[in-house]
């Protein structure tokens, strides 16, 4: 594989990370339990601490102070993700994404954990 410049690697890392984050949020329960809410919140704060691009992580941590993760429902969480990504887009001079398109854009083709348990019969997926 040819050596990629730092900016290219940073952009690829960003695209992959946003993809994972938005897909997680789009699959988050519509009615989360308090444990699920804590798990999502912890995941987002830890993500902001371990994100490998230091400049990006520092900026994202500031954004989280201003816009804390919304975990009350799937819609709240996915709209929050869209909003903070748009804040980063604005800072980088990128196009603003229409958050009405979020559910359609981030379909992962995955089953719910309960459905998967039923279909493989093992209950251990
Ligand atoms: P990306 O912004 O990576 O978006 C990928 C795709 O997601 C787009 O093509 C579009 O289809 C969709 N999308 C766009 N906006 C939204 C939205 N609001 N909601 C849902 N989907 C959307 N780079 C820096 O140079 N400096 C930084 O400080 C910086 N901070 C970052 C912080 C975080 C937490 C992350 C994950 C990335 C950060 N990046 C930063 C990387 C940057 O955001 C981009 O990922 C990178 O520049 C590549 O941009 P892109 O134009 O390919 O699209």
Give the structural domain span for 97. Answer: 11-105
2 part of a folded domain:
no
Segment 109-118 mean pLDDT: 66
Whether 122 is covered by a domain: the verdict is no
Ligand 1 centroid–CA 45 distance in Å is: 18
Task: Return the residue whose CA atom lies nearest to atom 6 of ligand 1.
Answer: 15
Ligand 1, atom 41, lies closest to the CA of: 14
Average pLDDT of the chain is 90
Q: Residue 74 and residue 17: Cα distance in Å, rounded?
A: 19
**What pTM value is reported for the model?**
0.91
Nearest CA to ligand 1 atom 24: 56
Q: Is the CB of 97 under 6 A from ligand 1?
A: yes
Picking from 73, 51, 71, the residue whose alpha carbon sits closest to that of residue 61 is 51
Quick one: pLDDT at residue 1? 46
**Residue 108 — very low, low, confident or very high, per pLDDT cuts 50/70/90?**
confident
4-18, 86-100, 101-115: range with lowest mean pLDDT: 101-115
Query: How far does the centroid of ligand 1 lie from the alpha carbon of residue 85, in Å?
Result: 6
Residue 119 lies in a domain: no
Give a yes or no: residue 116 inside a domain: no
CATH code where residue 20 lies: 1.20.120.310
Q: Is 110 inside any structural domain?
A: no
How does pLDDT run across 6-55, given as a tens digit for each residue? 889 999 999 999 999 999 999 999 999 999 999 999 999 999 999 999 99
CB of 47 closer than 6 angstroms to any ligand 1 atom: no
Q: How many domains, in total, are found in the chain?
A: 1
Predicted confidence at residue 111, as pLDDT, reads 73
């Amino acid at each position: 594989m040819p050596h990629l410049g730092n900016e290219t690697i940073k952009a690829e890392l960003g695209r992959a990370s946003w993809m994972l984050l938005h897909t997680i949020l789009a699959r988050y329960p519509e009615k989360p339990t308090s444990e699920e809410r804590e798990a999502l919140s912890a995941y987002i704060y830890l993500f902001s601490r371990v994100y490998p691009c230091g400049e990006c992580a520092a900026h994202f941590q500031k954004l989280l102070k201003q816009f804390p993760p919304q975990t009350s429902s799937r819609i709240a969480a996915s709209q929050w993700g869209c909003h903070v990504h748009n804040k980063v887009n604005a800072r980088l001079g990128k196009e603003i994404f229409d958050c009405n398109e979020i559910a359609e854009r981030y379909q992962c083709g995955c089953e719910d954990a309960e459905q998967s348990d039923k279909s493989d019969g093992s209950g251990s997926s």
